Amino acid sequence: MNILLLGETSKSLIKIIENKDDIIFHTEKKISIKYVNEKNIDFIVSFGYRFIIKPELIEFLKDRIFNIHISYLPWNRGADPNFWSLIKNTPKGVTLHYIDKGVDTGDIVDQCQFVFDYEHDTLKSTYEVLTKYGVSLFKKNWPFIREGKNKKIMQSEGGSFHKVKDKDNLLFLIEQEHWNTPIKKLIDYNYE
């Protein structure tokens, strides 16, 4: 099979797929049906991809486009999910889900929730943990996805959604320490 990886790609994610003798393509650029046809793509796996996939491509590869999202959906759909889970103190975690016509609204394949150490963890350490477990979640589910035997769980109502620009007025919270900002500083911020 031909698998297209979109966005950030870790060597461990590639290794999971390579073990199945599949051909892997990778891009961080916008894709089209023409691109998918030229490469004869069977599945798409998105991880940290910055573009919204067009509805016609989603329909073309129906139920064969998956996303690894570093939030516990339905909370913090869209951009900067780890940041928002800390600022709004919503559930933290990783979700593997189908991509549908909404933003991070597709049926869930699997997810896991985390509790972080507010005294010692930083934006960087939480992101690294979530990324690691995102790959782990994909590894656990890839054989079932590949065979079309994975589960589908409809997302629950509610949750939240954020655009990139939504955090603009909060950047002062991380301007001094950036990725090393302690999450306690974010959790303790009174966002509302």
Q: How does residue 8 score in pLDDT terms, banded at 50, 70 and 90?
A: confident
Q: Please give the pLDDT value at position 191.
A: 65
- What pLDDT does 51 receive? 92
Percent of all residues in the chain with a pLDDT value above 70, rounded to a whole number: 96
Q: Where are the domains of the chain?
A: 2-187
Residue 192 has pLDDT above 80, yes or no: no
DSSP string covering 46-102: EES--SPPPHHHHHHTTT-EEEEESS-TTTTEES-HHHHHHHTT--EEEEEEE--SS
Note the pLDDT tens digit of each residue in 71-107: 999 999 999 999 999 999 999 999 999 999 999 999 9
CATH architecture observed for domain 2-187: 3-Layer(aba) Sandwich (3.40)
